[in-house]
Amino acid sequence: MNTPNPTSADPSGVRPTSACVAISDSNFFIAVFALILSIKYYRVRTRTHILSCGMTDREKSLLRQFEGTEVIEADPNNPRGPACRKGEAILAAAEVDPEVSYISLLDGDCVVTGDISDYLIPPGETIFARLKTPEEDGGVFRSRYEPDDVFGTIPRKILDQWRSDVGERQECAIQNTACGGNLTVHRKVLPFIRSWQEQINRVLPQDLKGAHNFSSLAYSQVDESVLNSLLAFAHDAPVCKPAMFNLDPAAYLAHLGPNHPKPWVLWRTDKLRYYPVVARCFDWAKQEGYDMPKVPWTFKSSNRPWVYLCSHSYGTAQKVKRMFSK
């Protein structure tokens, strides 16, 4: 195999101070494989780890073939789904790579569009995440507001539940919520990350597998809701600063989800601009001689006309459906 230059060290020989970790089971494997391909294709200077929640041996070997990439076995005693194991993933990566200062938790259905190496090392020793605007929170909480709540804030009943469950600070320390994925943490805040996972284990049902639980008032966004409850009311909560993944239009982290259909089934028109990025990465990996999984038809450059035709046809059908459902 013609192995590309390693991304685990820069040309000066200095080891990077960052590591990235994603979480995967077999259902999400092809998405995480695409993420790792994009990191390697754009020569991002970081080590990469995947917390395996039941991947097959074949899937693990396909990921481990990339230099600087390791698969970490998830805690077999934890029955929770991948969305509820983000704290575990960060802590596991920090243990495997004790020399790195920053660990970035990346959603599995993302790809990078360029070299984001510098953005994995943000200035400061805290937690960095995408902070939601009042308009975004207003949309998320719109069905949960009471008459005396203010649109764009966190509903009072949710704050009351968070305050009670955390049992520490009385005054809320945040105005709006932070996203629970695609975040970076400095090693100094790992105790807070441990508290995040412990609180997830404490307040969320063990059999929860998905990323949402709409039957729950306070924890409808599961891991993200728990994270924000701690940012709001935990004594040791760090100040959350904006992540740097989307500052550079030439090199950023692109989220292919979270809606359906997934791009490995059919590209939605709003995500179609990332099809060339993904197809290019898969073409590159094949040319380099990497061992390849079965590649979805939507990730093959040879299917370009059909990918675009099906995407726009589906988009048109959805518009017609919405038109007649009004």
Measured between alpha carbons, how far is 7 from 67 in angstroms, rounded to an integer?
7
Cα 215 from chain centre: 23
Sequential DSSP letters for 97-125: -TT-SEEEE--TTEEESS--GGGGS-SSS
Q: Are strands 240-242 and 253-255 parallel, antiparallel or unpaired?
A: unpaired
Structure tokens at 185: 């943490």
Q: Grade residue 111 by pLDDT with cuts at 50, 70 and 90.
A: very high
pLDDT at site 11: 40
Read off the pLDDT of each residue in 64-78 and give the average, rounded to a whole number. 94
Whether the CB-CB separation of 18 and 120 falls below 8 Å is answered with yes
- Assess whether pLDDT exceeds 80 at residue 16: no
**pLDDT tens string 253-272:** 999 988 889 999 999 999 99
Q: Which residue has the tokens 């518009």?
A: 319
Measured between alpha carbons, how far is 220 from 243 in angstroms, rounded to an integer?
23
Whether the CB-CB separation of 100 and 19 falls below 8 Å is answered with yes
Of the options 3.30.2000, 1.20.120, 1.10.1060, 3.90.550, the CATH number for the domain spanning 18-242: 3.90.550
Measured between alpha carbons, how far is 244 from 102 in angstroms, rounded to an integer?
13
Nearest in space to 278 (alpha carbons), one of 299, 262, 297: 299
User: Domain boundaries in the chain?
Assistant: 18-242, 261-325
Q: Which residue has the tokens 């820069």?
A: 10
pLDDT at site 28: 93
**pLDDT tens string 78-107:** 888 899 999 999 999 999 999 999 999 999
Measured between alpha carbons, how far is 139 from 162 in angstroms, rounded to an integer?
20
Measured between alpha carbons, how far is 186 from 302 in angstroms, rounded to an integer?
42
Helix (H, G, I), strand (E, B) or coil at 50: strand
pLDDT at site 321: 82
pTM of the predicted model as reported, rounded to 2 decimal places = 0.91
pLDDT at site 155: 97
Helix (H, G, I), strand (E, B) or coil at 142: coil
Tell me the CA distances in angstroms from 109 to 29, 112, 191, 285, 320, one per residue in order. 10, 11, 27, 18, 28
Q: Grade residue 235 by pLDDT with cuts at 50, 70 and 90.
A: very high
Nearest in space to 57 (alpha carbons), one of 41, 73, 69: 73
Measured between alpha carbons, how far is 65 from 80 in angstroms, rounded to an integer?
28
Share of the chain above pLDDT 90, in %: 85
Q: What is the pLDDT of the chain when averaged over all its residues?
A: 92
Whether the CB-CB separation of 226 and 196 falls below 8 Å is answered with yes
- Assess whether pLDDT exceeds 90 at residue 10: no
**pLDDT tens string 21-62:** 999 999 999 999 999 999 999 999 999 999 999 999 999 999
Q: For the chain, list the strands marked E by DSSP.
A: 18-24, 47-52, 69-73, 102-105, 110-112, 127-129, 183-186, 240-242, 253-255
Read off the pLDDT of each residue in 233-246 and give the average, rounded to a whole number. 96
Whether the CB-CB separation of 170 and 178 falls below 8 Å is answered with no
pLDDT at site 257: 84
Structure tokens at 168: 């520490």
**pLDDT tens string 149-188:** 999 999 999 999 999 999 999 999 999 999 999 999 999 9
pLDDT at site 320: 86
Structure tokens at 304: 């370009």
- Give phi and psi for 268, each to the nearest 5: -75, 150
Measured between alpha carbons, how far is 211 from 23 in angstroms, rounded to an integer?
13
pLDDT at site 14: 47
pLDDT at site 245: 96
Measured between alpha carbons, how far is 315 from 107 in angstroms, rounded to an integer?
25
Share of the chain above pLDDT 70, in %: 95
Q: Grade residue 207 by pLDDT with cuts at 50, 70 and 90.
A: confident
By CB atoms closer than 10 A (0-12, 13-18, 19+), residue 96 is middle
- Assess whether pLDDT exceeds 60 at residue 3: no
